[in-house]
Structure 1
Amino acid sequence: MKLFLLLSFSAHLLLGAYGFTDETDRQALLEFKSQVSEGKRDVLSSWNNSFPLCNWKWVTCGRKHKRVTHLNLGGLQLGGIVSPSIGNVSFLISLDLSDNAFGGIIPREVGNLFRLEHLYMAFNSLEGGIPATLSNCSRLLNLDLYSNPLRQGVPSELGSLTKLVILDLGRNNLKGKLPRSLGNLTSLKSLGFTDNNIEGEVPDELARLSQMVGLGLSMNKFFGVFPPAIYNLSALEDLFLFGSGFSGSLKPDFGNLLPNIRELNLGENYLVGAIPTTLSNISTLQKFGINKNMMTGGIYPNFGKVPSLQYLDLSENPLGSYTFGDLEFIDSLTNCTHLQLLSVGYTRLGGALPTSIANMSTELISLNLIGNHFFGSIPQDIGNLIGLQRLQLGKNMLTGPLPTSLGKLLRLGLLSLYSNRMSGEIPSFIGNLTQLEILYLSNNSFEGIVPPSLGKCSHMLDLRIGYNKLNGTIPKEIMQIPTLVNLSMEGNSLSGSLPSDIGSLQNLVKLSLENNKFSGHLPQTLGNCLAMEQLFLQGNSFDGAIPNIRGLMGVRRVDLSNNDLSGSIPEYFANFSKLEYLNLSINNFTGKVPSKGNFQNSTIVFVFGNKNLCGGIKDLKLKPCLAQEPPVETKHSSHLKKVAILVSIGIALLLLLVIASMVLCWFRKRRKNQQTNNLVPSKLEIFHEKISYGDLRNATNGFSSSNMVGSGSFGTVFKALLPTESKIVAVKVLNMQRRGAMKSFMAECESLKDTRHRNLVKLLTACASTDFQGNEFRALIYEYLPNGSVDMWLHPEEVEEIRRPPRTLTLLERLNIVIDVASVLDYLHVHCHEPIAHCDLKPSNVLLDDDLTAHVSDFGLARLLLKFDKESFLNQLSSAGVRGTIGYAAPEYGMGGQPSIHGDVYSFGVLLLEMFTGKRPTDELFGGNLTLHSYTKLALPEKVFEIADKAILHIGLRVGFRTAECLTLVLEVGLRCCEEYPTNRLATSEVAKELISIRERFFKTRRTPRR
C-alpha cells in the first residue's frame, strides 16, 4: 500500500513538473479568450474561475486525465485573433474555429499540438500563409482551411502529414505551385484546391494517392496537358477540373482507369480529341460536363449504358459533322431513366430529330439542342417528356407545325424555337402552358393571328414572335400580362391600332412592332409604360401627333420613322438623359426642331424626310425658320410701348433691391460659415488627424475623375493616399450646393463619432474648411475598402469593365454578408451609446473589404433616436428630397412616418431578398401589385430555384434539397423583415440569430473539397 501511494505521489510530481495539469489548459484558454471578440453574445461567459474547466461551454475533456481534448467554437461569430496560447492545450484532439471572423495569422504554436487529429479553420479572415509547423501535428486526419485570405504558397512540409484524410485549402488566394511532397499523403481521400492562383503543372507524385475519393482543382492557373497522375487515382468519385486551363486529350481508356467516378466536370478548358468511349464503363457516373472545350469525333451511343446518368453537358464543342449519323446517341439515352439535363447546343450536329427523343426520361428537366443543323419536324410525341421545364430548339432548320402534344408540357417555363422554318398557326394550346415565362418563335413562317389565349400565360416575361407571316390585330389579352418585359412582334403583317391598354404593361422594357401595317393615333397611355427603354414603331402607318410620353425618362432608343406622324417635335426629348438614338425621319412633322439637350447631337437624332421642318443645329441641314414680320406701330401700340418702358424701369429697381438683399444675406452666411468652421472640429474631437482642403486636393490629383470611386445624393467619393497616412483612404466630398448637404455632414459625424463595430465603415477624420475660391468645403475621410459595394457584386453588368468583381458571390458569402449587416444593425439599434436609425440601408451602402467582410456606410440620413426632432427631420428630408431610397425605404416613410429601427429592418429585408434573388426592388419585372416581396413569397418553397439568383446556382454547387431548404429559410427571414406593419417585423437580434443558425446548420459540417 505504501509503495502504491509513493508511486502515485511520484507520478503526480512528474505530471506537475512537465506541465501536464488542467491548470495549464485553464490558463491557456483564458489567454485565448482574452484575444477573442465576442460582440454582445458573450458566448464564452462560462470561461472563468467560477466553473470547473470541464464544465465550460464548448469544451470537452478526456475521461482519464480531465484534460481538454475537444474545443468546438465553430459558427459562434467570434472575432479577434487566435492566441498562440492555444498551443499549450496539449491534449487537444479536435480544434474547430470555423465559420467565425478570426483575423491575424494562424499561430505557429498550433504545431505544438502533437495529438491533434482534426483542425477546422474554414470561413475566417486568417492571413499570413499556412505555417510549416503544422507538419508537427503528425496525427492530423482533417485539415480544413477553406476560404481564408492566406495567400502565399503551399508549404512542402505538409507532405509529412501521412495520416491526413481530408485536406481542403480552397479559396485562399494561394499562389505558386503544388508541392510534390503532397504525393506522400497516401491516406488522403479528399483534396481541395479550388479557386486559388495555383499555377504550373499538377505533379506526377499525386499518382501515389491511390485512396483519393474527391479531387477539386477548378478555377486555378494550371497549364499543360490533362494531368497524367489523375489516371492512377482509381478510387476517385468526384473530379472537378473546370476552368483550370488544361489542354491535350483524354486517354481512350479513361473509363477503365477511373471506374468509380460519380461527378466529372471538365468544362471550360482547352481539351481536344474524342470523348473516350470507355466512359460508358463507369456504371456509377451521374454527372458529366465537358462543355466549352474543343472536343471532336462525334457523340457515341455508349452513354446509354450508364443507367445512373443524370446530367450530360457536351455543349459548345465541334463534335458533329452536320450529318445523319450524328444523332445515333439519342436512341441509347432512352436507357438513362434518371436523366435530368441534356445539353448538346452548338455541337455541329445534323440530321432529322429521331422520334426516340420523345422516349427519353420523364425526369428530363432541360433539353438543349440549340444552334445545330437539325431538320424535319419536331417529333409528335415530344409531350411525353412531361417533366420538361426548358426546351431549346432554336437556330436549326426544323419545319412543319408545332406538335399538339407540346400542350402537355405544363411545367414548361422556356420554349425556344426561333430561327427555324416552322409553319402553320401558333396554336391556341400554348395558352395552357401557364408556367411559360419565355417564348421565342421569331424568324419562322408562322401565319394566322396571334392567339388571344397567350394572355393566360400570366407569368410571361419575354414574348418574341417577330419576323413571321402573322396578321390580324394585337389581342387585348396580351395587354393584361402584368409581368411582360419584352414584347417583340416586328416584321409581320399585323394591322389595326396599338391598343390603349398598352399602358397597363408597366414592366415593359422593350416594345418592337416595327415593319407591320399598324395605323391610327398612338395612344396617350403609352406614356404610362415608365420602365420603357426601347420603343420601335417604325415602318407602319401611325398618324397624328406624338402623345405625351415625357414620363419615359429611362428610354434609350426610340424609332418612329417611316410613319405618317405629324405636328411638332416634342421638346421633352431633349431632356431624356439616357437617350442614345432618336429617329423621327420620313414623317410629316412641321415647325422648328428643338436645338437644346439631345438635339445638339446629330449622331443620335435623325429627322430627315420631314419637308416642313426647319431650324435645329447646322448638322441637321434643315432650312432656317422664317422670322415673323414686325407689326406696324399704331397710336395704341405706342402707348403700350411707353407703359412697357415704365414697367421695365420698375422691375429693374425691384431687381436692384433684391440683389442688395442677397449680398447682405451672403455676408451673414459667410460669417455663419466661419463660425461653423470653428464649431465642427469640436464635434470631431475624437478624430486623430485634422486635414486641410489643399491636402485633400493634392491627394486626389485635383479631385480627378480617375480617382473617383463613387457618388451619392450629397457628394462624390475619391480614392486618395494622404501624406499623413501610410494607406489608401476614401474621401467623401460633400456637394455644398445641394440642400441638406451640411445636415448630412453633421449627421454622419454625430452618428459615427462614438460608434465602434467591426462591420461599420471607419470614419478616420473630417475636413471643415474653404476651397481656394473661398467657398464652403466639407469632406469626410474613411478607411478605404477595396472590394467596393455589394451592389457592384450583385449587378456587375452595370459596372465598368475595369471595376467589375472577378467572380460572383457564393451562397455562403452572401449569407455571411447579411449576417454582418444584421449584426451591425443590432448594435446601432440596441447596443450603441444611443439608438441610431440608419434610414438609407441598401446594397450600394454596404462595402466589402479584402476578405468580403461587410461594412455599413453612408450615415447621411441617420438619426439619433433619443434626440429625435420630428420637425427638423422632416425639414432635412424635404431638403434632401428623399426619405431613404425608393424600393428600400419602409412604406410608412412614404406616409410621413418617423424614422425608426423598424424602418431599418424593412430596408434590411429588401436588401436580403435582393442578395439571394439578384433582383432589385425597382426591377422592370415589378409593378402594380407585384413587388420583390410578393414575387418571393409566391415562389416559396416549391419554386425557390426559379427566383434564386442564377449566379448562386453555378455548376460548382451541389444544387439539391439542402440548397433549396437553405435558400427558402433565408428568404423567409427577409419576408418577415418586410412585413407591411412595422411592429410585425423581426427584431435585428432575432434576424442575426436565425441567420447564424441557418449558416451553422447548412455549412458547419461541410468538409468535402469545394469545387
Structure 2
Amino acid sequence: MLEIKGCLLVVLSETILKASIHLKQVKVLNKKMANSTPLFLGFLFCFISSVATYSSNETDLLALLAFKSAILPDNIGSLNSWNQTSNFCTWEGIVCSTQYHDRVAEINLASRGLEGTLSTYIGNLSFLRRISLRNNKFQGVIPQEIGLLGQLEFVDFSGNSFSGELPRNLSKCINLVNLSMTENSFSGMIPPEFGSLYRLEVMNLTNNKFLGTIPPAIGNLTSLTHLSLSSCGLTGQIPESFGQLQSLILLQLTGNGFSGSIPLGLFNISTIQLFEVADNQLEGTIPENIGFTLSNVRGILLAQNKLSGTFPDSLLNSTTLERIGLFSNKLTGRVPTDLGRLSGLWVIALWNNFFEGDISFISSLTNCTRLSVLRINNNLFTGFLPSSIANLSRVIAQIDISHNKIQGNISSDIRNLQDLAWLDLSSNYLEGSIPLGIGNLDKLIYLDLGRNRFTGEIPSSFGNLTLLSHMFLQENRLFGSIPSSLIDCTNLLSLNISHNNLNGSIPQEIMSISSLSVLLDLSHNSLTGSIPFEVGSLRKLTDFDLSDNRLSGTIPASLGSCLSLQGLYLEGNSFEGKIPSELSGLEGLRFLDLSRNNLSGAIPSFLSDLRLEKLNLSFNKLYGQVPISGVFRNNTLVSLNGNKELCGGILELQLPPCPPLNSSKKNKLLQPKFLIPLLVFGIIVLSLSICWIILIFRRKDSFSSSPSFLEHDQVMRFSYSDLLKATGGFDKYNLVGVGRFGSVYKGIIDDSTPLIAVKVFNLSVKGASKSLLSECEVLRNVRHRNLLKLLSICDSLDSQGYPFKALIYDFKANGSLEKWLHDHKEEDGDEELKKLNMIQLLEIAIDVAHALETISIT
C-alpha cells in the first residue's frame, strides 16, 4: 500500500513540476480568474508542490534503502554513509538533480567491492539517468522494473556476475545512449526489442554466454558508434542489416561461432576505425578495394577464420592503418615489398598462412618507426634473412619468423634492438655462429633459435639475459661446453639445448638455477661425467631429460628432492648401481626411462606405488622378481627387455617364474632337472680345459707372429654411413642383443647381399676396446665350419665426430648358443620348451675342442 501511495505521489509531483517548468509557456489564461483569485491559486500551487516534493523524495529514500538491503555487508564500508541521519543526496555515490528538486539522478558505485543482488525498487528512482555498478560482485537477474526508468541514459553493469536473460523491458528506456554489460554470465537470446533503442550509441555485451544469432533488428540502431559482441557464444551469420550502421567507429565480433561470409556492407562503412571479426568460422575473401572503402581504419583483425585469397594491395592506401591481424587463415601469395609505406604500423601479424616468396619487405619496414610486433611465422617464405632486420624500430618488442625456409646468418647488429623481448627464428635454415650481441638484449624474455644449422659455441654472454624465461637452442650443430654463466639467468623456466654436439661435464651451476620449472633438456649430446649432486635444487622442474649422452656414475639420491618432476629421462648412458630409493618421493612422476644403462639390483617396489604412465627399464642388469601392481599390471606401459635375470611379473611379460622362496640353493641343485645339466656342463668344462692347456703349449711361439687374418682375406669394406643405413639408423627394432661392451644389430646393405650382423662397441665402457682386440685375436687364429665368419671391421667416426668401432658378421637367424644351451620358450608364444639333448651337447663339446685344436695349425 505504501508503494502504491509512493507511486501516486511520484506521478503527482512529476505533473506539478512539469507544469511549473512550462508555466511561462501558457499563453491563454482566464484573466478574470487570475485577477480575482491570484492569492488563492498561488497558495494552492505551493502547498501541492511542497507535499508532492516531500513524498517523491521519500520514495527515492525508500528505494535507496531497499537497494542497500539487497547488498551484503561490505568490509570496505562503501555504504556506511547510507543512513537516515543525513540527506541521501550526500550519500557516497549518489548525485541528485537540483533541477528536479533533489531527485536521484545518478548512482556511481563502480569498483566498491559490493556483493549482492539488484533490488526491484530500482524502478522507483524515476528521475535516474545514469547508473554504474561496474567491477563489483552483483549476481542474480536484473529486474524487469529497470524498464520503468524512462529517463535512463547510461547503464554500466560490466564486470559482475549477473545471470539470466537481459531484461526485455530495457527496450522501453528509449533515451538510453550507453548499454555496457560486459563480463557477466547473461544467457539466452539478445532481445530483438533492443532494436527500438534508436538513440543507442554504445552497445557492449562482450564476454557473456548468449545463445543463438544476432537479431537483425540491431541493424536498425543507426546511431551506434561502438558495437562490441565479442566472446558471447553467438552463432549463425552476421546480419546483412549491419551494413546500415553507417556511424560505426568500433566493431568487435571476435570469438564467436559466426559462419558464412562477412557482409560486404560492413566494408563500406568509412567511419570504422577498428574492424574485429577474428576467431570465427568466416569464409570468403578480403575485398580487393578494402583500402579505399575503409579509409579511416586503424586496426583490421580478421584472424583465425577460413578466409582465402591474397593480401589486398589496396591496404597500402590506408595511411591510418596501425594494426594488421590476418593470422591463421588460408591466405596465399606474396606480401607487398613496399609494406613499409604504412609508416604508422605497429603490429604486423600474418602467421599461420600460406604466404610465399622472399621476405624483402622487411627492409621497407625500417620506415615504420613505431613497429612493435612482427610475426610472419608458419608460412612458406624463402630467401635470405636481410641484414636490415637489425635496423627495425628501436621499440620493436617481438620478432617471430620461425617455421619458414629462411637461409643466411643473423646480423651481429641485432644487438641494436634494445627493446626486443621475444626473438623466435626457429625451424629455418639459418647457419653460422650465434651472434654474441644477442647477449646484450637485456630485455629478452623468450629466445628460440632451435632447429637450424648454427655452429660454434653457446655464447657465454647469454648469462647477461637475466630476464630470460625460455631458451631453446636444440637441433643445431653447436659444440663445446655448456657455459656456466647461465647461472645468472635467474628467471629461466625452460632450457633446451638437446641434439647438438656439446661435450664436457654438466656444470653444477646449471643445476643450481632454481627457477627452472618447465623443462631442462640436455639430451642427445656427448656430455660426460656424472650428474651433479646440485640437481636437488631443481625442486620446481617438471621435465628433466639427459638421455643419450655419455654420462656415468650412479643416479644421485638428491634427484628425490625434485618433487615436481613428471618426466625423468636418463636412458642411453652408462649409469650404474641401484635405482635410488629416494625417488620414491616423486609422487607426481608420470614418465620414467632408465633404459640402456648398466643399472643393477632388484626393481624397487616403490615404482609400483607411483602413478606412472610409462616405465622403461630395459637393457640394464636388473634381477629378481618383477612387481605385479601399479604400472606393472599393464605390459603396454612397462618395458623390461634385456634384463636377463628378471623373473615373475604378469604373464604378458613372458618372464620365467621365480624359484620358490622356501627352497634352499642346495636342494635346487640336487633336483634331476638341474643335476644332469650341471654334470654335462662339468664334463664339457673339464674337456675344454685339458684341450686348452695342450694347445697353449703348441701355439706358444706362433701366436704372436701370425699376421692379421684380414690381411690375407678379401673383405668387404663398410663405412659408418653404410652401417647407419643398413640398420635403419641403428633402430631399436633391428636390435638383436645387448652385451656389456656393445650392442648387436641386424641389417642389410642391399637386395643382392645377405643379412649382416653389426656388433657396435660402446667405447665409453671401460674394457670395450680390449674386448674388441681380444675378439679379433681369437678370430685371427681360429677356423671352423660352425664359427661365424667375420666379414669386415669398421673403424671410423660417427656423425658427431667421435670414434666408432664395429665388427660385421654374417647374420644367423636361429638365435645364440646361450639360448640353445639353456631352456627357453619360442618367441611366438609356443609353450613347448626347446633344448639340446645329451648327444647334441657332446657333439658341441667335441666341435669346440676341434676348433681349439686348429689354433696350432693356423
User: Structure 1 length normalisation: TM-score?
Assistant: 0.58
Residue 342 of structure 1: how far off its partner (Å) = 1.0
Q: Which residue of 2 aligns with 1:558?
A: 592
Q: Report SS of the residue matched to 1:249.
A: coil
Residue 351 of structure 1: how far off its partner (Å) = 1.1
Q: Which residue of 2 aligns with 1:290?
A: 326
Distance in 1 separating the partners of 2:139 and 2:601: 69
Q: For structure 1, which runs of at least 5 residues remain unmatched after alignment?
A: 634-1011
1:509 aligned residue (532, 535, 542):
542
Write the letter of the residue equivalent to 2:557. Q
Q: Which residue of 2 aligns with 1:377?
A: 409
- Residues 77-104 of structure 1, C-alpha deviations (whole Å, 9 max, x = no match): 5555544444343333223344444455
1:497 aligned residue (500, 522, 530):
530
Write the letter of the residue equivalent to 2:312. P
Distance in 1 separating the partners of 2:386 and 2:539: 43
Q: Does 1:244 align with 2:285?
A: no
Report matched runs for 1:694-705 at 5 Å: none
Report matched runs for 1:881-960 at 5 Å: none
Q: Does 1:406 align with 2:438?
A: yes
**Number of equivalences:** 626
Q: Does 1:269 align with 2:305?
A: yes
Residue 275 of structure 1: how far off its partner (Å) = 2.3
Distance in 2 separating the partners of 1:524 and 1:99: 51
Q: Does 1:520 align with 2:553?
A: yes
Q: Which residue of 1 aligns with 2:616?
A: 583
- Residues 34-72 of structure 1, C-alpha deviations (whole Å, 9 max, x = no match): 254232247556556654454444333322331425231
CA contact (8 A) 2:439 2:459 kept: no
Q: Which residue of 2 aligns with 1:328?
A: 360
Q: Report SS of the residue matched to 2:383.
A: strand
Distance in 2 separating the partners of 1:433 and 1:105: 52
Distance in 1 separating the partners of 2:526 and 2:406: 28
1:453 aligned residue (472, 485, 490):
485
Residue 233 of structure 1: how far off its partner (Å) = 2.1
Q: Which residue of 1 aligns with 2:236?
A: 200
Q: Report SS of the residue matched to 1:222.
A: strand
2:508 aligned residue (467, 471, 476):
476
Q: For structure 2, which runs of at least 5 residues remain unmatched after alignment?
A: 1-33, 668-858
1:315 aligned residue (348, 351, 363):
351
Residue 190 of structure 1: how far off its partner (Å) = 1.1
CA contact (8 A) 1:277 1:302 kept: no
Residue 127 of structure 1: how far off its partner (Å) = 4.4
CA contact (8 A) 1:89 1:113 kept: yes
Q: Which residue of 2 aligns with 1:419?
A: 451
1:364 aligned residue (388, 392, 396):
396
- Residues 752-804 of structure 1, C-alpha deviations (whole Å, 9 max, x = no match): xxxxxxxxxxxxxxxxxxxxxxxxxxxxxxxxxxxxxxxxxxxxxxxxxxxxx
Write the letter of the residue equivalent to 1:312. I
Report matched runs for 1:766-845 at 5 Å: none
CA contact (8 A) 1:30 1:48 kept: no
- Residues 536-573 of structure 1, C-alpha deviations (whole Å, 9 max, x = no match): 22222222222333222322222222222222222222
CA contact (8 A) 1:152 1:174 kept: yes
Distance in 1 separating the partners of 2:169 and 2:148: 8
Q: Does 1:58 align with 2:93?
A: yes
Distance in 2 separating the partners of 1:507 and 1:458: 13
Report matched runs for 1:64-143 at 5 Å: 64-75=99-110, 76-78=112-114, 81-143=117-179
Q: Report SS of the residue matched to 1:273.
A: coil
Report matched runs for 1:518-667 at 5 Å: 518-548=551-581, 549-576=583-610, 578-627=611-660, 629=663
Residue 620 of structure 1: how far off its partner (Å) = 2.5
Distance in 2 separating the partners of 1:613 and 1:128: 64
Distance in 1 separating the partners of 2:140 and 2:645: 75
Write the letter of the residue equivalent to 1:560. L
- Residues 466-488 of structure 1, C-alpha deviations (whole Å, 9 max, x = no match): 11112222122212212223221
CA contact (8 A) 1:522 1:546 kept: yes
Q: Report SS of the residue matched to 2:559.
A: helix
Q: Does 1:257 align with 2:293?
A: yes
* Pair 620,157 (structure 1): closer, same or farther in 2 beyond 3 Å: closer
Distance in 1 separating the partners of 2:626 and 2:160: 63
User: Structure 2 length normalisation: TM-score?
Assistant: 0.68
Q: Report SS of the residue matched to 2:307.
A: strand
Distance in 2 separating the partners of 1:239 and 1:297: 23
Distance in 1 separating the partners of 2:117 and 2:621: 75
Q: Which residue of 2 aligns with 1:235?
A: 271
CA contact (8 A) 1:22 1:67 kept: no
CA contact (8 A) 1:566 1:590 kept: yes
Distance in 1 separating the partners of 2:116 and 2:559: 58
Distance in 1 separating the partners of 2:212 and 2:193: 15
CA contact (8 A) 2:191 2:215 kept: yes
Q: Which residue of 1 aligns with 2:496?
A: 464
CA contact (8 A) 2:61 2:88 kept: no
- Residues 621-666 of structure 1, C-alpha deviations (whole Å, 9 max, x = no match): 2333344655999xxxxxxxxxxxxxxxxxxxxxxxxxxxxxxxxx
Q: Does 1:145 align with 2:181?
A: yes
Higher relative contact order (CA 8 A, sep 6+): 1
Residue 298 of structure 1: how far off its partner (Å) = 2.0
2:216 aligned residue (180, 195, 198):
180
Residue 308 of structure 1: how far off its partner (Å) = 2.3
* Pair 597,71 (structure 1): closer, same or farther in 2 beyond 3 Å: same
Distance in 2 separating the partners of 1:333 and 1:477: 41
* Pair 416,181 (structure 1): closer, same or farther in 2 beyond 3 Å: same
Residue 371 of structure 1: how far off its partner (Å) = 0.8
CA contact (8 A) 1:67 1:91 kept: no
Distance in 1 separating the partners of 2:646 and 2:513: 39
Residue 389 of structure 1: how far off its partner (Å) = 1.3
Q: Report SS of the residue matched to 2:447.
A: strand
Distance in 1 separating the partners of 2:157 and 2:537: 54
* Pair 280,8 (structure 1): closer, same or farther in 2 beyond 3 Å: farther
Distance in 1 separating the partners of 2:586 and 2:79: 58
- Alpha-carbon RMSD: 2.8
- Residues 121-144 of structure 1, C-alpha deviations (whole Å, 9 max, x = no match): 334444453344333333222222
Q: Report SS of the residue matched to 1:599.
A: helix
CA contact (8 A) 1:300 1:328 kept: no
Q: Report SS of the residue matched to 1:294.
A: coil
CA contact (8 A) 1:249 1:271 kept: yes
* Pair 206,521 (structure 1): closer, same or farther in 2 beyond 3 Å: closer
Q: Report SS of the residue matched to 1:491.
A: coil
* Pair 20,185 (structure 1): closer, same or farther in 2 beyond 3 Å: farther
Q: Does 1:343 align with 2:375?
A: yes
Report matched runs for 1:153-164 at 5 Å: 153-164=189-200
Q: Which residue of 2 aligns with 1:299?
A: 335
* Pair 506,198 (structure 1): closer, same or farther in 2 beyond 3 Å: closer
Q: Report SS of the residue matched to 2:155.
A: strand
Write the letter of the residue equivalent to 2:277. L
* Pair 599,107 (structure 1): closer, same or farther in 2 beyond 3 Å: closer
CA contact (8 A) 2:352 2:379 kept: yes
CA contact (8 A) 1:134 1:158 kept: yes
Distance in 2 separating the partners of 1:547 and 1:417: 36
413-422 or 501-510, which moves further after superposition? 501-510
* Pair 620,259 (structure 1): closer, same or farther in 2 beyond 3 Å: same
- Residues 11-32 of structure 1, C-alpha deviations (whole Å, 9 max, x = no match): 457768xx96352242244145
Q: Report SS of the residue matched to 2:510.
A: helix
* Pair 559,201 (structure 1): closer, same or farther in 2 beyond 3 Å: closer
* Pair 242,26 (structure 1): closer, same or farther in 2 beyond 3 Å: farther
